[in-house]
Amino acid sequence: MDIALSWDLVLVAAAILLFAYNFLLGQDATLKLVLSIYIATLTADGIAHMVESFLIKPSPALTAWADGAGEDWFLFLRLGFFLLAIIIFVVKGGFHIRLEKHDHWAARTVIHAVFSVLSATLFLATILIYLSGNSFVDGLQHATEIPLYEQSSIARLLLGHYQVWFSLPAIGFLVTSFFFERPRD
């Protein structure tokens, strides 16, 4: 059996691994991870923007160096801060998620599976946006120019509809809020 290695296969394998990891984390930790991805995305973009605005642009020497390094420098800066922020928020974050348990095990499993899929797609879409050299907050100006976009239908789906992948977990939070009520004291 010959399996041709393609970007679609790599992205599907990464999505399956992320889904499995989220599923093993448990429901509360998966929700904490989703919130951490949101916060880390905004943190990474904000820090990269501050470094560019307050350190690089005011200094002619750093501007010349950044122009020579191209956008790759900001790509690695955003990606590094994104991953670092996720780790810090998940491991040392000062917030905890405790979702009330639904009465039926099947409902809990389905809700957990949905949030695991949403977490995996949000993480993959964000990583692909940063690897394309774009800012998540600023939008995709050059996503169609990267080779991965042309070679992978999954990358086109994730990058072309990144607003959907960013908003679906929040919509999921809103929808599941109707199913879980805190017991009144």
pTM recorded for the entire structure: 0.82
* DSSP state letter for 99: P
Spatial CA neighbour of 97 closest among 156, 169, 44: 169
For residues 145 and 82, which has the higher predicted lDDT (pLDDT)?
82
Q: In this predicted structure, what is the pLDDT of residue 181?
A: 61
**pLDDT confidence band for 134 (50 / 70 / 90):** confident
Answer yes or no: are the C-beta atoms of 19 and 13 closer than 8 Å.
Answer: no
* DSSP state letter for 2: -
The residue written with tokens 């990474």 in the block is 44
Q: Tell me the pLDDT tens digit for each residue of 15-66.
A: 999 999 998 988 888 989 999 999 999 899 888 888 877 776 776 766 665 6
Average pLDDT over the chain, rounded to whole?
A: 82
CA atoms within 13 A on the CB side of 128: 33
**Once rounded to an integer, what is the mean pLDDT over residues 71-91?**
86
Q: Judging by beta carbons within 10 Å of its beta carbon (0-12, 13-18, 19+), is residue 90 exposed, middle or buried? A: middle
pLDDT reading at 177 higher than 90: no
Query: 146 φ, ψ to 5°?
Result: -85, 145
Q: Tell me the pLDDT tens digit for each residue of 93-125.
A: 777 777 776 677 787 888 889 999 999 999 998
Q: In this predicted structure, what is the pLDDT of residue 52?
A: 77
